[in-house]
Amino acid sequence: MEKPREIFETELAEIREELLRLGVCPRESVQQSSSLQQKLLEDWQQASHYWLNRMQSEVALWRALLSKLTTAQSGTEAFDIYAKYVAEQTKMIMEDGYRLLGDFQHVTTNLTQISTKEWLSRS
């Protein structure tokens, strides 16, 4: 049978492990936490700025399509115009995928670097 002190230390170790698993860093200073939050906020602001501009360019693309379709002289011309714009949108969708992947990679890299620095500072 374990002694009361050993039981306490075992339970305390389990609690620490659970807190670390949940991302709670007891030694983390307010300044470090604030720095991390600021960096993440900047990353998300840059990403949201890009996506807002991207949405605006998508609206402009389809507005231009509508304008050109209304002036088409034949069904064939309208189809050619539409095909051109669908190709342009497909290109934009591919760029979106690359950008989204890059955004996630950037945020993940920053989180990993910060976590590694924090982990090393505790060692």
Per-residue tokens: 26: 């007891």
Over 90: is that where the pLDDT of 11 sits?
Answer: no
**Where are any strands of DSSP class E within the chain?**
none
* Whole-angstrom distance, CA of residue 123 vs CA of residue 121: 6
Picking from 24-33, 73-82, 99-108, 110-119, which range would have the lowest pLDDT averaged per residue?
Answer: 24-33
Tell me, yes or no, whether 14 lies in a domain. no
Please state the domain count of the chain: 1
Domain assignment present for residue 24? The answer is: no
* Residue 85 near residue 60 (C-beta atoms within 8 A): no
Domain contains 98: yes
- Asked if the structure places residue 10 within a domain, the reply is no
User: Tell me, what's the pLDDT at 31?
Assistant: 62
3-state percent breakdown (helix, strand, coil) of the chain, nearest 5: 85, 0, 15
pLDDT in tens, 14-23: 877 877 777 6
pTM of the model: 0.58
Question: Which pLDDT score is estimated for 67?
Answer: 93
Domain membership flag for residue 106: yes
- Say if 17 falls within a structural domain: no
Distance CA 9, CA 84 (A): 69
Q: What is the C-alpha to C-alpha distance for residues 65 and 49, in angstroms, rounded to an integer?
A: 25
Residue 3 domain-assigned? Answer: no
Residue 118 domain flag: yes
Closest to 42 in 3D by CA, of 114, 104, 107 = 107
Query: What are 42-99's pLDDT values in tens digits?
Result: 888 888 898 899 999 999 999 999 999 999 999 999 999 999 999 999 999 999 999 9
Range of the domain at 63: 29-122
When mean pLDDT is compared across 21-35, 75-89, 106-120, the lowest value belongs to 21-35
